[in-house]
Amino acid sequence: MKVYSIITQTSEFALASQNSDGSMPAGHNGPYKDPETPVRNTSHWLVAFLKSWEITTDQKFRVAAEKCLGYLLSGAARPMGASFWHRSNPKKDFTNGVMGQAWTLEALEYAFRFFGDDQILRLAEEVYKLHPYDADHKAWKIVNVDGSIRGFDVTFNHQLWYAAIGSRLATHGDLDIKCQAQDFISAIKNNIKMYPDGVIMHLPTMYLRTTMKKKLGGVVSKIRTTKNQSNAIYMKSVGYHGFNLYALGIIKEQYPELEFFLSKEFQKMIEVIRTDRFKNQLDNSTYSYDYNPPGFELGFAQQKFDSENFDEYFLKKDIMKSFDQDAEAWGIKNKFDPATASARVYEACQLENVAISIDVP
C-alpha cells in the first residue's frame, strides 16, 4: 500500500460526509472530549482534498476543497471577526489556544498555494498577527473568538506549531510574521526540553517562567508532582513526540541550516524513536495511535531527519491499527474520535509516496 493511496481513498470515503455549507463532521478532540465546531476537521480536509486533487486530477476533490475553503472563509468559522471558533467547552477557550489557529492557518496557506487568491493569504496573515508575540517569553498569547487577549498558551507544542506555520506564511513576504517566527525558532534550543532518553517534554517546567519567583514556583510544582503524575505526563509526552518532530520537520523546510538540528540534544530526540523501549511505550500511550497518528508524524520525521535509518515500522503499525480495509478509509474505526482521526489523514500529505507492506487478515 502506498501513502498516496491512503490519502485519496480516505478522501473519497469522506466526500459523502461533507455538509451543505462545505463543512466536514466535527469531532471532540479525541481523549480530551472537548466538543468541537467543524472548523478543525474542515481545515484538515481542505488539505487532504487538495492533495487528492493534485494526485488524481479528479475535479470532485477540487470541488470539495473549494467548499471547505468557503466554509472557513465564512462567518460561521470566524463569527466575531477575530480568531477561528474551534471548540465549545465553556471551561476552556473557544480557540483551542494558538494550536487551533495554527491548524486553520496551515490549511489556508496550503490553499493559497493552490488557488493563488490573495484573499486567502490576507486572512491567514491577519489572524496570525492578531496574536501578540512576546519576544522576552518567546511565546504568543491566545486571542479569544471576540478578539480579547486571554494570555499565553502554556503548551509548548502549541507554540512550536504556531512558529512552524508562521515560517510557512513568512515565505509569502510578511516581515512581521517572519521576524516573530525567526525569533521563536532561534530560541528553540533553549526552550525545548527533553527527558534523559530524548523524548520531548510535553510540559517543560521553566518555559514561560522568566522571573526568579516564577522559576522557583516551577521547581516547587515539579517537586510536588507525584510519581504517578510524572509517569502520566511522560507517557503523554511519548504520544506527542512525533507531533513535535512533525512541526520541527516543517521548520526545517524553511530553515534547513538551523543550528539546533545539529545539536546533540536534537540527535537524541531522533535516536530515541529507533529504540524498542520507545516503541513499546508508544503502544501504551493514550495520545499515540488512538489520537495522534505516529505513522505519519514519525515517518515524516524520519524522512526529514533520519532518512538513512528510515524503516516502515511506525507507518505499518499505524496502517494496521487505523486503516479500515473494507471501507478503504483511515481513522474511521478509531475508538475515541473517528471524525477527527479520519481527518488527520491530512498529515500524510507531507510524506513521500513510499510503499508499505502490510499483512491483510
Cβ neighbour number for residue 129 with a 10 Å cutoff:
15
The answer, yes or no, to whether residue 126 has pLDDT greater than 90, is yes
Residue that is written with C-alpha cell 493514550 in the block: 286
CATH of region 3-350, choose from 3.90.1570.10, 1.10.3470.10, 1.50.10.10, 3.40.1640.10:
1.50.10.10
Q: How confident is the model at residue 225 (pLDDT cuts 50, 70, 90)?
A: low
Residue pLDDT, tens place only, 325-339: 999 999 999 989 999
Contact 154, 214 (CB under 8 A): no
Taking the C-alpha atoms of residue 194 and residue 17, their distance in angstroms, rounded to an integer, is: 40
3-state secondary structure of 361: coil
**Strand, helix or coil at 50?**
helix
Residue 54 — very low, low, confident or very high, per pLDDT cuts 50/70/90? very high
Please state, rounded to an integer, the average pLDDT across all residues of the chain: 93
pLDDT tens digits, residue range 143-202? 999 999 999 999 999 999 999 999 999 999 999 999 999 999 999 999 999 999 999 998
Contacts of 165 (CB under 8 A, 6+ apart): 102, 105, 106, 109, 128, 250
Nearest to 361 by CA among 309, 310, 335, 323: 323
Asked whether 71 and 42 are in contact (CB, 8 A), the reply is yes
Say if residues 71 and 38 touch (Cβ distance below 8 Å): yes
Give the separation between CA 307 and CA 341, rounded to whole angstroms: 26
State phi, psi for 321 to the nearest 5 degrees.
Answer: -90, -30
Q: Residue 340: which of 88, 103, 41 has the closest Cα?
A: 41
Q: Could you tell me where the beta strands, DSSP code E, fall in the chain? A: 133-134, 139-143, 149-152, 323-324, 329-330
Using CA atoms, how far apart are residues 314 and 242, in angstroms rounded to an integer? Answer: 10
What is the phi-psi region of residue 57: left when phi exceeds 0, alpha when psi lies from -120 to 50, beta otherwise?
left
The pLDDT score that the predictor gives to residue 220 is 43
User: pLDDT tens digits, residue range 234-281?
Assistant: 999 999 999 999 999 999 999 999 999 999 999 999 999 999 999 999
Cα distances (angstroms) measured from residue 360 to each of 2, 193, 295, 321 = 14, 40, 17, 12
- pLDDT confidence of residue 327: 96
Q: Would the pLDDT of 45 be above 60?
A: yes
The structure's pTM equals 0.94
Q: Which residues of 94-126 are buried (b: 16+ CB within 10 A; e: fewer)?
A: bbbbbbbbbbbbbbbbbbbebbeeeebbebbbe
Domain ranges of the chain: 3-350
